[in-house]
Amino acid sequence: MATNYNLALAVYRHSLTTPDAVAVVSRGQSLTYGEIAARAASLADGLRRSRAWQCRERSPLRVGILASRGIDACVALLAACWAGAAYVPIGLKLPEERTLTLLSLCDLSAIIADEDGARLLTERLLDACPPIVIHASRTPLSARDDAVEVLSMASLPPVTVVEPTLMAAHETAYIIFTSGTTGVPKGVVISSGAARHYAAMIAERLGLRSSDRALETCELGFDFSVHNMFSTWEVGAALHILPATTVMNAVKFARTSELTVWNSVPSLAGMLRQVNALKAGSLAGLRITVFGGEQLPEATVTAWQSAAPNSVIVNLYGPTEATVFCLAQTIGQPLPVTPGRGVLAIGTPLPGSAAKVVDEDGVELADGTAGELAIAGVQLADGYLGAADLTASRFPVIDGQRWYLSGDVATRDAAGNFHCFGRIDNQVKVLGYRVELEEIDAHLRLVSHVDVVGSVAWPLVDGMARGIVCFVGVPTIDADRLISDLKARLPAYMVPNRLIALAEMPLNHSGKVDRRALHRLLDTDAA
């Protein structure tokens, strides 16, 4: 019998074996595995029965998810999987033009919107929508065009839960859009084989258990959410979704929800440390902490170890193009730091993945030499949606194997551990000198004792940077002292001309420091 790679399969299996176990909790509501399977199967049935789905000749099937993190979002994406379609998260905070661009790029078969998402469905957007829209709005919605069938989730009848549609390993599980340097978003296409491999592999590597209660802090458009949902559901555990409005109360949330597994970007921990929320022993209930998605500062780890003394900490590294995370470093003693950077090593490839450091010609470099990190293995994306040339250039075949060129500067040390220094595109020329902005960040963290910082090359004159401006994520700073401390550590051309205290650091949709927004702040200020 053919193997079913449907991403919803684990949820289906737990709905048969442990139907009363909690699958997801959000804003005081929860669904058991039995309930979430019933809701997803009913929604999937609604998709399949719709006029447009039945007469659709073209494949593949893709369902856009217009929802903020919460129970409806989980049900919606599971329903898309159940019906044999790929799910495509569409952010709620995008300007309408960008949403229209996404809709035109991804040729959706349907859209499922939660209540927040449905509010965005203006007549203009509905005109651009695929032929089926299923929504959770309490107020009726209708499209001007009869060709668009608009159904309310509440109107869908219960159905007998059957196994999610058989999906082959090569069929698409999800498409996540990341920002493209050209300004056009890039849709990263991840196969069901890659996604299922990731969920099973990482649940085993972390030693997750059905009794775990795991944290969700991400929106669907950030692929860390794939880790959070599907590693938790792989083992039949419960996912606790932190509402976007209570992020700074994450420690309290973890305590009241009795969380055992923490998943977040390090910036969240850094912000909690800054507001003194990380008291010694305050997260004693945690047994596993997953940090991933950006550099993990040493100071964050030290504070975390005291707040969560019973937790193993794992630093996970990976680009969306390699299905969430593909390298891992378990944090032991002494801390596996990246020399001179104050951040933690990214470790070694996870089962099924391979990594090497290459030069501009794709030739592997010796240990200790910095180059671009290349990744291979079962988790590699199929490529970028509708962008064959870009796919071919970022996923070259080297010596008969397909690799993804990550755009990260890295080295491998003599013990075989990889270290990530930051993005190649954060490598700037300041007055002719090559500077890595992450390196300045690292020193600034040390002298300011603030984890959330961001450096930018500014002003740019004819594309060349004249200097550096650094932002520190606190309300006030002693700029003169910090600059003199930095002068003691950095060559003159790397010392910022200006330091700015910014109580609310702009973060991108993944919760990482948004350097573009920092640039905009400076441009507006100068204008």
**Residues in contact with ligand AMP by the rule CB under 6 A:** 178, 223, 292-296, 315-320, 346, 406, 408, 420, 423, 510
Question: CA-to-CA distance for 203 and 467, rounded, in angstroms?
Answer: 45
Residue keyed to tokens 């007549």: 123
Bridge partner residues of 402 (DSSP): 397
- Provide, rounded to whole angstroms, the least separation between the CB of residue 178 and ligand AMP: 6
Q: Which is nearer to ligand AMP, 281 or 340 (CB)?
A: 340
Q: Which is nearer to ligand AMP, 228 or 320 (CB)?
A: 320
- Provide, rounded to whole angstroms, the least separation between the CB of residue 266 and ligand AMP: 8
Question: CA-to-CA distance for 118 and 128, rounded, in angstroms?
Answer: 14
Q: Which is nearer to ligand AMP, 136 or 316 (CB)?
A: 316
Question: CA-to-CA distance for 481 and 474, rounded, in angstroms?
Answer: 15
Backbone angles phi, psi at 417, to 5 degrees: -90, 140
Contact 210, 21 (CB under 8 A): yes
Q: Which is nearer to ligand AMP, 278 or 346 (CB)?
A: 346
- Provide, rounded to whole angstroms, the least separation between the CB of residue 29 and ligand AMP: 29
Concatenate the DSSP letters of all residues of 44-99 into one string. HHHHHHSHHHHT--S---EEEEE--SSHHHHHHHHHHHHTT-EEEE--SSS-HHHH
Residue keyed to tokens 């932002």: 471
165 residue type, one letter? T
For residue 34, what are the contacts with CB-CB under 8 A and spacing of at least 6? 15, 19, 20
SS3 state of residue 438: helix
Question: CA-to-CA distance for 251 and 259, rounded, in angstroms?
Answer: 10
Torsion of CA 479, 482, 483, 486, to 10 degrees: -160
Q: Which is nearer to ligand AMP, 172 or 264 (CB)?
A: 264
Contact 166, 85 (CB under 8 A): no
SS3 state of residue 378: coil
Q: Which is nearer to ligand AMP, 233 or 317 (CB)?
A: 317
- Provide, rounded to whole angstroms, the least separation between the CB of residue 501 and ligand AMP: 25
Q: Which is nearer to ligand AMP, 33 or 418 (CB)?
A: 418
What would the two tokens of residue 445 be?
Answer: 């963290």
- Provide, rounded to whole angstroms, the least separation between the CB of residue 516 and ligand AMP: 14
- Provide, rounded to whole angstroms, the least separation between the CB of residue 456 and ligand AMP: 16
Question: CA-to-CA distance for 198 and 379, rounded, in angstroms?
Answer: 7
Question: CA-to-CA distance for 12 and 37, rounded, in angstroms?
Answer: 6
Q: Which is nearer to ligand AMP, 391 or 406 (CB)?
A: 406
Q: Which is nearer to ligand AMP, 73 or 405 (CB)?
A: 405
For residue 188, what are the contacts with CB-CB under 8 A and spacing of at least 6? 175, 176, 177, 178, 223, 320, 321, 381, 384, 385
- Provide, rounded to whole angstroms, the least separation between the CB of residue 95 and ligand AMP: 20
